[in-house]
Amino acid sequence: MIPAPFEYVRAGSLDEACRVLAEAEEAGEDVKVLAGGQSLLPLLRLRLAYLSALVDVGRLAELRGVEDRGDHVFVGALTTHDEVLRSEVVRELVPLLALATATVADPAVRHRGTFGGSLAHADPAGDLPAVALALDCVFVVRSDEGEREIPASDFFVDYLESALEPGEVLVGVRVPKLGPGWGFHYEKFHRTAQSWATVGVAAAVRLGEGVVEEARIALTNMGPTPVRARAVETALRGVPLGSSDGERLRQVCDLADEGASPPADLHGDPAYRRHLARVLTRRAVVTAGA
């Protein structure tokens, strides 16, 4: 559990971090940004990854904090999971984020691990990517050449691969408030309290007179990236919740795994994961609509 040698740079400012990253890119070096280290350091310690340098942004206060910005909440990339959980703004205005964050690992990890680090790591088994996808979050990133925005639908490229270019740092994420009438739930199925989701479902549902008017559903660990379950979103429109007609909801939610390509691992094969996605989507929708 000893990583291979690497250079370590503690950035004093975001500009400095960007500059160091740009220089490293120019030199063809393999550099990564270090935030809470809860995902990256295990990879290094197990020697599953070899890097020439780490740029530690951990002390950059400018990347930290939660802010209500009218139609969205801006969450700084360095905000820890614990800070997200304790934020009144998050709990009141973007509760799906709080619901999902509460299921992340354990208190020790939540105190060190960061919101942005978890998203930039782009692990489809992480809980937050599905939330970002379901809510159509916007990722704000900075490099030596300036700032740009990446919609969540473009951010998750492949397994552990995001749309961040070498030299770019995730500054924060705009989390849209969906407005009145929406209910939320994150349904996570995992084998122990501290293990990753076998499958997770992030759901936002807007009801009108007991009938679904609009739904946003995204799935955790159902493919190399988080998966937006568009088919079930469309089919849910007009479906009554909480009535005696549970069969219709069941049929609709059987579309949940459409377009997913779930992995096979020790905790479930693809067929089981597809089944779980359907069951958990139904439960998530019912709870979100309750």
Partner 1 sequence: MTEQLDAGLVAERIAESDQLSAPSGDREIGRARRRKEDARLVTGRTTWTDNIQLPGMLYVTFLRSPMAHARITRVDTSAARARPGVVAALSGRDLADEQGSLPCAWPVTEDIVIPDHPPMAVEEVRYVGEAVACVVATDRYAAADALEEIEVDYEPLEAVVDMTEALTEGSPKVHETGNRAFTWRFAQGDVGAAFRDAPIVVERDYVQQRLIPTAMEPRAVVATTDGDSFTLYSATQIPHVLRVMLAMTTGIPEHRLRVVAPDVGGGFGSKLQVTAEEVLALLLTRRIGRPVKWTESRSEGNLTVHHGRDQLQRIRLAAERDGRLRAVQVELLADMGAYLMLVTPGVPLLGAFMYNGIYKMDAYDFTCTGVFTTKMPTDAYRGAGRPEATFAIERAMDELAHELGLDPVEVRRRNWIAHEEFPYTTVCGLTYDSGNYEAATDRALDLFGYDTLREEQARRRAEGDPIQLGIGVSTFTEMCGLAPSRVLGSLSYGAGGWEHASVRVLPTGKVEVVTGTSPHGQGHETAWSQIASDALGVPFEDVSVLHGDTAISHKGMDTYGSRSLVVGGIAVLSACEKVKDRARELAAHMLEASAEDVEFADGSFRVRGTSQGRTIQEVALAAFAAHDLPDGVEPGLDAETTFDPDNFSFPHGTHLCAVEVDTETGGTTIRSYVAVDDVGAVVNPLIVEGQVHGGIAQGIGQALFEEAIYDAEGNLLTTTMADYLVPTALDLPEFVTDRTETPATSNPLGVKGVGEAGTIASTPAVVNAVVDALRPYGVRDVRMPCTPERVWRAINSGTSGASGVSEASEGSHGSGAPQSSQGSRASEGFEGGGR
27 vs 108, which CB is nearer to partner 1?
108
- What is the rounded CA–CA span in Å between residue 132 and residue 206? 18
User: Is the CB of 213 or the CB of 272 nearer to partner 1?
Assistant: 272
If binding is defined by CB under 8 A, does position 247 make contact with partner 1?
no
Query: Under 8 Å CB-to-CB from 204, ≥6 apart: which residues?
Result: 96, 134, 135, 178, 182, 183, 184, 215, 216, 217, 288
For partner 1, the binding residues in 96-115 under the rule CB under 8 A are 106
Q: 272: which 2 tokens?
A: 């089981």
Cβ closest to partner 1, residue 92 vs residue 269: 269
Select 19 or 275, whichever has its Cβ closest to partner 1: 275
**Residue 132 — φ and ψ, nearest 5°?**
-60, -40
Which of 198, 221, 225, 287 touches partner 1 (CB under 8 A)?
A: 198
269 binds partner 1 (CB under 8 A): yes
Spatial separation of the C-alpha atoms in residues 35 and 79, rounded to whole Å: 10
At closest approach, how far in Å is the CB of 279 from partner 1? 5
Q: Is 4 in the site for partner 1 (CB under 8 A)?
A: yes
6 binds partner 1 (CB under 8 A): no
SS (H, E, C) 175-231: EECCCCCEEEEEEEECCCCCCCCCEEEEEEEEEECCEEEEEEEEEECCCCCCEECHH
Q: Does 244 bind partner 1 (CB under 8 A)?
A: no
Residues of the shown chain interacting with partner 1 in the complex, contacts defined by CB under 8 A: 1-2, 4-5, 46-47, 106, 189, 191-196, 198, 264, 266-269, 271-272, 275-276, 279-280
